[in-house]
Amino acid sequence: MSRTVLITGANGTVSTALAKALEGSDVNLRALVRDASKAEGLHATEVFVGDLDDARSLPPAFEGVQDVWLLTPNGPRAPENNMNAVWAARQAGAERIVRLSVVGAAHDAPNRSGRLHALSDQETKQSGMSWTILRPHWFMQNLLNEAGDIAATGTFSQNMASARLGMIDVRDIAEVAARVLLDDPDRHHGETYTLTGPRSLTFDDVAGQLSLALGRSVTHLPVSDDAKRKTLLGYGVPSWIVDMLEEYAQAYASGWGDFTTGTVTDLLNRPPRDIADFVRDHTPAFN
């Protein structure tokens, strides 16, 4: 009998890629969205409206679900959101949670996101259900936030100095999640997978790959934390998120993100996508 998979955060970057990765498989895909008007185009057979902020809105979406893809939004209420979802899953008799955490999640992580996710990771482990936790590195898709500047000026700015990051393509995260969800629950129960790309990269390395793909010069311009903060606040990014991103930037600048793992290769039997693959596949966005 086909299993029902509930995808939370269904409009998000990773969840959207996951739904696409599961398309055509023998699972019943159910999407949880906060706004019904944004459900069009989702790769799901069922769509439920609910909000992880509101525990009372969740039971209908979780009823009859065997597997939960649990993605909580960044913010100070993230542990509450996870708690609400875990409780709804337990009450509905769900069998498995595959949770999207963050790289380096720990109670002593140098950023608030990592510390908050560590709380939710621990709660998920104690849920009584089968569980798998994914901890991906910095998303290559974050570079799409710089596409406007790259197209207009041939430059982009980050406040991470010469940091090296084992950045990963979101499509690889999604394909790992799909692999876990399609396998028998016992195979990945109790596993925490740290996912990276194939090599650590500086943003100068990224600029070089963009230059090659676009056939014109692209330059990375390092900026201060204050300059990046001003830019993000000017775009309307909430101050809590700006503070969180600054904490990540400072950690990365200290060398905290300079590592890779072989986990994607082990799980997918192929190497993860390189930055050259990402840039080639997204070239139109930077023109």
Domains and CATH numbers, the chain: 3-139+168-195 (3.40.50.720), 141-164+198-258+274-286 (3.90.25.10)
User: CA 210 to CA 204: how far, in whole Å?
Assistant: 10
**Nearest-5° angle of CA 30, CA 133, CA 128?**
80
Helix axes 239-253, 225-234, angle to 10 degrees: 150
Read off the pLDDT of residues 95-122 as tens digits, 9 standing for 90 and up. Answer: 999 999 999 999 999 999 999 999 999 9
User: CA 233 to CA 166: how far, in whole Å?
Assistant: 27
User: What pLDDT, on the 0 to 100 scale, is given for residue 39?
Assistant: 67
The pTM of the full predicted model, rounded to 2 decimals, is 0.96
Quick one: which of 8, 6, 17, 5 has its CA closest to 195? 17
Q: CA torsion, points 229, 231, 236, 238, in degrees to nearest 10?
A: -10
Read off the pLDDT of residues 141-184 as tens digits, 9 standing for 90 and up. Answer: 999 999 999 999 999 999 999 999 999 999 999 999 999 999 99
What is the rounded average pLDDT of the residues 16-33?
Answer: 93
Q: Distance of alpha carbon 86 from its chain centroid, rounded? A: 19
User: What pLDDT, on the 0 to 100 scale, is given for residue 2?
Assistant: 86
CB atoms within 10 A of CB 64: 14
User: CA 43 to CA 37: how far, in whole Å?
Assistant: 15
User: CA 99 to CA 76: how far, in whole Å?
Assistant: 18
